[in-house]
Amino acid sequence: MQRFRSHSDHSLDPKGRLNIPARFREVLKEQYGSEMLVVTHWKECLRVYPMAEWLSIEETLLAKGKSQSNLGRFVRYIIAGVVECSPDKQGRVLLTPALRSSVKLQKEVVVVGMLNYFEVWDKGAWEAETELVREGFDDYSEGLTELGI
């Protein structure tokens, strides 16, 4: 089974287009049979889902989301940011100005695989996030042990 793994540095072009890594495009074709993507803003990055993964999230929200009273604002925020797209012939997707500004993406970005989706981070924000993880690495021991990792 192919997954979105690893990370790579990229530069957005002047129109805000991002070149999706070839290995990620391959996962889209092989694992999902489609390059159709859903992009939305998340806390400090953009999340990019294959359409099938996004539809599963929507179904979960429809079936169970209303039972979580504190999720209404969150769902509104995430759904309002949704942009559907597919890579062009050069493997690029347009990250709209609204998406870019919502997470403060500049020209230099990092694309990060998250197994069943991937994220797009501003390079400076990614470096700060990575440093936080390194500093608190021991905080993850218990959870990893519970997972058998």
Q: Is 85 helix (H, G, I), strand (E, B) or coil?
A: strand
* Cα R_g (the chain), whole angstroms: 16
Which domains can be identified in the chain, with CATH numbers? 7-123 (3.40.1550.20)
Chain-centroid distance of CA 21 in Å reads 13
pLDDT, one tens digit per residue, over 105-147 is 999 999 999 999 999 999 999 999 999 999 998 999 899 999 9
Confidence of residue 81 (pLDDT cuts 50, 70, 90): very high
SS3 (DSSP) at 12: coil
pLDDT tens per residue across span 91-100: 999 999 999 9
Question: Would you state the torsion angle of the CA atoms of residues 6, 9, 14, 16, taken in this order, to the nearest 10 degrees?
Answer: 30
User: What pLDDT, on a 0 to 100 scale, did the predictor assign at position 60?
Assistant: 93
